[in-house]
Amino acid sequence: MTYLIIRLATLGNVAMTVPVVASVGRRYPNDRFIIASKKDLGAMFASMPNVEFREVDNHLGWRGVWEIYKAWRNEVDAVIDLQSVLRTRVFRLLMRCSGKRVTGVRYGRIRKHWITAWGFGKRWKLPTEFERYKDAFRRAGLETDDRFEALPVNKKAAAVVQERFGTKEGRWIGLAPFAKSRSNMLPYPVTKDIIERLTQDEKTRVFLFGAGKIECEMLRQWSSVFPRTTSVAGQLKLEEELELMRQLDVMICMDSANQHLSSLVGLRAISVWCATHPMIGFQGWKQRDEDIVQRHDLQCRPCTCHGTNHCRYHNYACRQIEAETIIQQI
């Protein structure tokens, strides 16, 4: 059978599908799986022999929905929708009318909204995104497992990393200080303090990760100020970035995509959670609970599932985490 798996955005969410897709691809080698996602993310699935990546516009309009329906309706036997938004639901309806078997992920958005509005007392947690993906595959008749540890080494990308950054000596630490929302980032002075303290050790080299024009420029400036600090923001392909992460001893990141990319190469990540909370279900694959840094003394957390640029108390107290706390965690 041929299965179409839809997960359009974002980078972190697509990365979270990899352990589950790798599992079903290995368990069902005679079936074919097509991943429909945004541009430049195919490197995460390239090592899976029966998984094919196809690029789809993240801002898929109604005309685009109709076009991909006409193009794929005779090619696929079943659809697994891991995006579950209005556009993909309409696509599922069209495929169902064509006699295809369709399933969609259950995100529990109402419960998540209730938790961010009223809190949950930290006494229980929601299913992880991985568990929700597994449930969608299970309802499609596909069983999964938790055997995924890391993607295999991409030898070509690893050679590029070796040529560009040389042989590893001492300790290599990654730092991804940015996120899409202000509520998910540490204040800039705290981040700079972390870099300064790490680079006081002559045997430590720091790599700065990020994306976006403004972020890249800021990280470039920081790398020019602090010794033994290299910004790789916007300079590497995804597969090369993953191979560089594989060489690191640890990644320091926010609740962002880099936590999930680290999981794909088996890298231990110290994740900093500000306005969001790991109990909502976005902790990285097989990342350790003891590597989470967050404030436990705030009753207003979590106030958002994915991050926000607004604080109801106008003080962003959730971001007030000392650099020393993270240094001690390292």
Q: What percent of the chain has pLDDT over 90?
A: 85
Task: Let me know whether 271 and 222 are in one domain.
Answer: yes
Strand ranges, E, within 189-323: 204-208, 229-231, 250-254, 269-273, 292-294
Strand ranges, E, within the chain: 2-6, 32-37, 51-55, 78-81, 101-104, 171-176, 204-208, 229-231, 250-254, 269-273, 292-294
Task: Let me know whether 92 and 135 are in one domain.
Answer: yes
Contact 323, 252 (CB under 8 A): no
* Mean pLDDT score, 282-299: 95
**Among 110, 139, 168, where does a domain finish?**
139
pLDDT in tens, 208-245: 999 888 889 999 999 999 999 999 999 999 999 999 99
Task: Let me know whether 165 and 309 are in one domain.
Answer: yes
pLDDT in tens, 249-285: 999 999 999 999 999 999 999 999 999 999 999 999 9
Q: Is 146 among the domain residues?
A: no
Q: Is 74 among the domain residues?
A: yes
**How many structural domains does the chain have?**
2
What per-residue confidence (pLDDT) applies to 123?
A: 57
Task: Let me know whether 79 and 192 are in one domain.
Answer: no
Task: Let me know whether 220 and 77 are in one domain.
Answer: no
Task: Let me know whether 191 and 256 are in one domain.
Answer: yes
* Mean pLDDT score, 45-52: 96
Whether the per-residue pLDDT at 89 is higher than 70: the answer is yes
Enter the tokens of residue 214: 């403004």
**Among 139, 174, 200, where does a domain finish?**
139
Classify the phi-psi angles of 253: left when phi > 0, otherwise alpha if psi is within -120 to 50, otherwise beta. beta
Q: Is 69 among the domain residues?
A: yes
Task: Let me know whether 98 and 193 are in one domain.
Answer: no
- CA–CA distance, 33 with 90 (Å, rounded to integer): 21
- 102: confidence class by pLDDT, cuts 50, 70, 90: very high
Whether the per-residue pLDDT at 113 is higher than 90: the answer is no
Q: Phi and psi (nearest 5°) for 33?
A: -125, 130
Q: Is 147 among the domain residues?
A: no
Look at residue 158 and give its three-state secondary structure: helix
Q: Is 167 among the domain residues?
A: yes
Task: Let me know whether 161 and 112 are in one domain.
Answer: no
**Among 107, 139, 171, where does a domain finish?**
139
Cis peptide before 189 (omega within 30 of 0): no
* Mean pLDDT score, 65-80: 95
Task: Let me know whether 174 and 266 are in one domain.
Answer: yes
Task: Let me know whether 219 and 308 are in one domain.
Answer: yes
- CA–CA distance, 56 with 45 (Å, rounded to integer): 15
Cβ neighbour number for residue 219 with a 10 Å cutoff:
28
What per-residue confidence (pLDDT) applies to 120?
A: 65
* Mean pLDDT score, 124-153: 95
Q: What CATH number has the domain bearing residue 101? A: 3.40.50.2000
Range 293-316 burial, b when 16+ CB lie within 10 A, else e: bbeeebeebbbbbbbbeebeeeee
Sign of the Cα torsion 18, 24, 30, 34 reads negative
Helix H or strand E encompassing 136: helix 129-139
- CA–CA distance, 129 with 82 (Å, rounded to integer): 10
Centroid of chain to Cα 144: 20
Q: Which domain holds residue 186?
A: 155-329
Q: Rounded mean pLDDT of the chain? A: 94
Name the pairing type of β-strands 101-104 and 78-81: parallel
- CA–CA distance, 328 with 272 (Å, rounded to integer): 13
Sign of the Cα torsion 51, 269, 83, 54 reads negative
Task: Let me know whether 87 and 177 are in one domain.
Answer: no
Look at residue 283 and give its three-state secondary structure: coil
- CA–CA distance, 195 with 251 (Å, rounded to integer): 13
Q: Is 149 among the domain residues?
A: no
Q: Is 212 among the domain residues?
A: yes
What per-residue confidence (pLDDT) applies to 124?
A: 64
Task: Let me know whether 169 and 277 are in one domain.
Answer: yes
Centroid of chain to Cα 287: 12
Of 119-128, 201-210, 272-281, 288-297, the poorest mean pLDDT is in 119-128
Q: Is 292 among the domain residues?
A: yes
Enter the tokens of residue 152: 């295999």
